[in-house]
Amino acid sequence: MKKRILVTGGAGFIGSHLCKRLLAENNRVICLDNFFTGNKTNISPFLSNPDFQLIEHDITVPFEVEVDEIYNLACPASPIHYQYDPVKTIKASVLGANNVLELAQRTKAKVLQASTSEVYGDPIIHPQQENYWGNVNPIGLRSCYDEGKRCAETLFMDFHRYYGVNIKIIRIFNTYGPNMQKHDGRVISNFIVQALQGRDITIYGVGGQTRSFQYISDLLDGMIKMMATESSFTGPINLGNPCEITITDIAKTILKLTGSQSQLIHAALPPDDPAQRRPDISLAKTKLNWEPHISLEEGLKETIAYFRTIL
């Protein structure tokens, strides 16, 4: 019998890829999205599929549906989007987590929380392991997202301990690929769009800060493997690519792959911007037999090709 799987935030960048993957694996997929940052174009190929259902709904409002599994991805994830309405952002994280957990409790569904590397804040431990509690500013401009996700993890663990809900928590590190929005303010989408349009590439700060970028298909592999683990294993678990690169070097790589003549310019560094970010994926290797396989250059070529079609 086909599983009924709910993907909240299913019209977003990661959610739409997950819906496609779950449909390909012969599941019934329910996509719930309010289209605050999600895009109907991302899911339009699935609308004619009888195993796909779209529910337009705000995650902060309780809802009822019969499901076997839930992937909770509903929350603005890029700084431009989550800082646009910070109160809405923290409600999406906290009230949204509570609503999916209550649904999971009622339906006995397994539920996976898409948390984030932002729970580590501006880390003083490098690389970041899951037992690191983070260095987060609770009252800064990024707090609505960082602390919202931290509180959501707390809710998940307490629903598990107190009510016995079968939960999984993943911490997603920087992810990129097709279906990213061209104006979402993320590093790779910003740089690709600027390079393809021949505009100056804006680097915040001196460009020495580091990130670790994973391609979307690698992330999906990790998510699905995590959902399939035994009920006693809750996570949290890091899903990211440990290959670390400076912001300046990622810009230069994109210039090379696009053949752009854009120049690098510098702007002021935003508050609380992490100086370094790299996951320790030892736990994912051990528990999931997972590690990323798509190289940065390979993934960037696919992503650049996508942006050429939409610009």
Q: How far apart are CA 244 and CA 127, in angstroms?
A: 10
Give me the pLDDT at residue 82, please: 75
169 occurs within a structural domain: yes
User: Is position 163 annotated as part of the catalytic site?
Assistant: no
Place of tokens 């528990």: 287
State the pTM of this model: 0.95
What residues in the chain have per-residue pLDDT under 50? none
28 occurs within a structural domain: yes
DSSP the chain: ---EEEEETTTSHHHHHHHHHHHHTT-EEEEEE--SS--HHHHGGGTT-TTEEEEE--TTS------SEEEE--S--SHHHHHHSHHHHHHHHHHHHHHHHHHHHHHT-EEEEEEEGGGGBS-SSSSBPTT---B--TTSTTHHHHHHHHHHHHHHHHHHHHH---EEEEEE--EE-TT--TTS--HHHHHHHHHHTTPPEEEETTS--EEE-EEHHHHHHHHHHHHTS-TT----EEES---EEEHHHHHHHHHHHHT--PPEEEEPPPTT--S---B--HHHHHHH-----S-HHHHHHHHHHHHHHH-
Q: How far apart are CA 276 and CA 208, in angstroms?
A: 9
186 occurs within a structural domain: no
Give me the pLDDT at residue 310, please: 92
128 occurs within a structural domain: yes
Give me the pLDDT at residue 81, please: 73
311 occurs within a structural domain: no
Number of separate domains in the chain: 1
Q: Which long-range contacts does 36-39 make (Cβ < 8 Å, 24+ apart)?
A: 36/76, 36/81, 36/88, 37/12, 37/76, 37/77, 37/78, 37/81, 37/181, 37/184, 38/9, 38/10, 38/11, 38/12, 39/11, 39/12, 39/179, 39/181
Q: What's 106's domain CATH number?
A: 3.40.50.720
204 occurs within a structural domain: no
Question: Domain of 236?
Answer: 4-176+214-241+277-293
Give me the pLDDT at residue 185, please: 84
Partner residues linked to 267 by β-bridges: 204
Give me the pLDDT at residue 183, please: 85
Give me the pLDDT at residue 269, please: 85
What token pair was written down for 170? 């993943």
* Backbone phi and psi for residue 228, each to the nearest 5 degrees, phi listed first: -85, 0
253 occurs within a structural domain: no
R_g of the chain computed on alpha carbons: 19
Task: Given the residues 145, 163, 215, 306, select the one marked as catalytic.
Answer: 145
194 occurs within a structural domain: no
